[in-house]
Amino acid sequence: MTKRWVVQSGLIVGLALVVGGCSWLQPTSLTETAADPMQTIEVVVDGPLSDAIVAELAEYGQVTQRFDAIGGLIMRTKESALKALSSLPSVRVAGAIAQRHTDNYAGGISTWDLDLMNVTDPSASRVVEYDGTGVYVAVLDTGLVQNWREYLPEERIAVQYAKAFKSGASDNSTVAEATHQWERDTEAHGTHVTSTILGYWIKSLTAPYAVNGVAPMATVIPVKVLGNNGGGWSPAIAAGIVYAVDLKVALDAPMVINMSLGGSELSPLEAAAIDYAVDNGVVVVASAGNEGEAGMGYPGAYAPVVSVGAIGWVGEWVGFGAFWREDVPEPATIEALQNSVYVCDFSSRAVEDQDLDVLAPGSWIVGPYLGSGAATPPLRANGKPGEYYFLGGTSMASPHVAGLVALMFDKNPALAAADVEGILEGTAIDLPAGSRTVDDGSGVKVEFSWRDDATGAGIVLAGEVLDAVAP
């Protein structure tokens, strides 16, 4: 949740290839042997791709597709025929088809929050060998903005599974699916949360670049359960959880649910849906809330959920405007690490019968954000204000941990979901009660203080967590 967090009243809330001048041909049969296997090749000829040239090439194999506009074709041929085919006067070049991989931001720049968690380092990019490959992260939030492809790697968003659920507050309210609304958000809370997991693209005209994510090769499933104003109701959220769990079962792949949302009461439907998720091996991560001393929000405070409070770095505002890319010095001791962070004043403390698990960076995290009412100045790109914002909240801390869980599943897809919370808590670095004085960037000193009820098991660090996961 950000400081703009909305408490819900009462309950919680086939690939088409189009090529100019392309036609398909029925291949004939060829016999291959183990010593002379068939292979698929691409051929480009000199001049127009006439029927006579195609007939000549067909003597060497099966022509399966023509690209007349560029004088090219695809064909299957024996390995032994490739040299002779390449020597034909009509052939400019012939070679094997080339594999391509999906776009990702694993090589993007490091930010202070990922550096603090030891996921990245400014001098070496990623310092962990895992990137979330093969893991699904269902982000139950406001969905994505319509132009999300300008910020997020398209191949990492599972558009085929994206959904939107909505429900109201009336006694006879039912849950309905809202077609295409998952990519119609107008503020970008869900987009910002997703950018922490996958990374994102900075659209600067002078030097556009990618920003690293916690799990840049994970696959995010956007599930819109909140309205564009950030508010919603528990029936829709419960429906979103059940939908994600059923997908996990059908896909037979590791899955994490991130919920950067909450309210003051535990919803029976949400609790049942979370129990259903845990029973089916899905890890549920949620923000602790932004109510400070007033206590945690739900579902984060519900014990089966991995709840996340927010910390900041004492050097974050020094040299404002660049801090988010600063190199966080590697602490020589645990005490030095403890002294370099503070618990954010808004981060919810655990009151009686509430369960706060761990802490992660949540103080002014940069990401794509279109909301015009944010209290902090935007990071401008292309002269357009409001494309990127420094947002502070446990909403920003939660996806750091959801991404870290994706790295755990990447290392061991068979990892029991029931063990994930134990590993996170068991490897966390304790943060004793204390105070820190932080420069706000203008020379003003701000003091942050906290007790033991604000820290859970402590600070999660990628290296310690992954070392505890058996391969």
What CATH number does the domain containing 60 carry? Answer: 3.30.70.80
- Whole-number pLDDT of residue 205: 57
> Hey, is 313 helix, strand or coil?
strand
- Whole-number pLDDT of residue 27: 35
Q: What is the CATH number of the domain that holds 242?
A: 3.40.50.200
Which region among 117-121, 128-132, 317-321, 333-337 has the lowest average model confidence (pLDDT)?
317-321
- Whole-number pLDDT of residue 315: 84
Which region among 25-29, 175-179, 299-303 has the lowest average model confidence (pLDDT)?
25-29
> Hey, is 96 helix, strand or coil?
strand
End-to-end CA distance of the chain: 33
Q: Residues 144, 146, 148, 154: is their CA dihedral positive or negative? A: positive
Same domain, 407 and 319: yes
Task: Look at residues 96, 126, 142 and tell me which one is the last residue of a structural domain.
Answer: 96
Asked whether residue 229 is assigned to any structural domain, the reply reads yes
More confident residue, 356 or 266: 356
Same domain, 85 and 143: no
- Whole-number pLDDT of residue 30: 53
> Which domain does 92 fall in, by range?
22-96
> Average pLDDT over the chain, rounded to whole?
84
Same domain, 145 and 65: no
**Mean pLDDT computed over 357-362:** 97
Same domain, 116 and 49: no
Same domain, 84 and 138: no
Same domain, 75 and 144: no
Select from 420, 175, 413, 396 the least CA-distant residue to 273.
175
Task: Look at residues 72, 96, 120 and tell me which one is the last residue of a structural domain.
Answer: 96
Same domain, 128 and 26: no
Number of structural domains in the chain: 2
Same domain, 138 and 84: no
Select from 112, 106, 138, 105 the least CA-distant residue to 361.
112
Q: What single-letter amino acid sits at 408? A: M
- Whole-number pLDDT of residue 265: 86
Same domain, 286 and 223: yes
Which region among 82-86, 292-296, 462-466 has the lowest average model confidence (pLDDT)?
82-86
Asked whether residue 16 is assigned to any structural domain, the reply reads no
Same domain, 75 and 190: no
Give the pTM.
0.78
Same domain, 311 and 400: yes
- Whole-number pLDDT of residue 18: 24
Asked whether residue 396 is assigned to any structural domain, the reply reads yes
Asked whether residue 293 is assigned to any structural domain, the reply reads yes
Q: Which residues of 204-238 are buried (b: 16+ CB within 10 A; e: fewer)?
A: eeeeeebbbbbbbbbbbbbbbbbbbebbbbbbbbb
Same domain, 342 and 428: yes
With beta carbons less than 8 A apart as the criterion, state whether 134 and 175 touch: no
> Hey, is 464 helix, strand or coil?
helix
Select from 305, 241, 231, 311 the least CA-distant residue to 276.
241
Task: Look at residues 96, 123, 158 and tell me which one is the last residue of a structural domain.
Answer: 96
Asked whether residue 6 is assigned to any structural domain, the reply reads no
| pLDDT confidence tier of residue 206, bands split at 50, 70 and 90 | low
For the chain, helix, strand, coil in percent to 5 are: 25, 25, 50
With beta carbons less than 8 A apart as the criterion, state whether 387 and 377 touch: no
Give alpha helix (H) positions in 117-262.
189-198, 234-251
**Mean pLDDT computed over 11-35:** 36
Cα separation, 412 vs 254, in Å, equals 9
Asked whether residue 51 is assigned to any structural domain, the reply reads yes
Asked whether residue 13 is assigned to any structural domain, the reply reads no
Nearest-5° angle of CA 159, CA 405, CA 470? Answer: 130
Cα separation, 314 vs 393, in Å, equals 16
Strand partners, 164: 224
Count of other CB atoms within 10 angstroms of residue 110:
23
**Mean pLDDT computed over 311-329:** 74
Tokens 């949740």: give the residue: 1
Cα separation, 78 vs 379, in Å, equals 56
**Mean pLDDT computed over 245-260:** 97
Asked whether residue 12 is assigned to any structural domain, the reply reads no
Report for 52-66, 357-371, 454-468: range of highest mean pLDDT = 454-468
